[in-house]
Amino acid sequence: MSNVKIDELQKLYKDTKVNTFFQELCEYYATKSDYQENSYEEEIEPENIVEPIYLLFCLQRRDTSLSSFEYIRKKYPNLFECIQTIYEKLLLGMNTTALYNELSAELEKSFSLTSENILERSDHYNSLYDDQAEAMEHFYDYMKSYKKV
């Protein structure tokens, strides 16, 4: 990872206008390229799990998420480059039902849950917690108990 991205990440973590969820999102995407193929699996979940969950949680708070993306685009342009793809999926996903279905179907491949269960649980945790990062943490804990072996 470049020094510019490291500097921006450090500033991002001190920025009170960026919530914990978006700090984690930026860190994940900024550091993702630093992992060798499959070397990250001991430290973080595989990208076929992490990325749909991040996008799902952005989609559930779409307006707030888009505002956060725009703020990061202006204030931290090098970090924004790392998250631009997820931003574009969220921005262009005007048919949110189709996007929800796509994401839950992707997650269904890794978990012993139906798409409906996945969406119901993500909605549940998003409504239960104001802090999006905390909601996602509880969602992860729930999902791990249904992970296919």
Contact 87, 54 (CB under 8 A): no
Q: What is the pLDDT of residue 42?
A: 55
Contact 54, 122 (CB under 8 A): no
Contact 132, 61 (CB under 8 A): yes
Contact 88, 58 (CB under 8 A): no
Instruction: Give the mean pLDDT of 93-120.
Output: 93
CA atoms of 145 and 8, how far apart (whole Å): 35
Domains of the chain by residue range: 3-144
Q: Which two tokens stand for residue 22?
A: 């978006």
Q: What is the pLDDT of residue 115?
A: 96
Predicted model pTM: 0.90
Q: Which two tokens stand for residue 137?
A: 């943490």
For the stretch 8-61, pLDDT in tens is 999 999 999 999 999 999 999 999 876 655 555 555 678 899 999 999 999 999
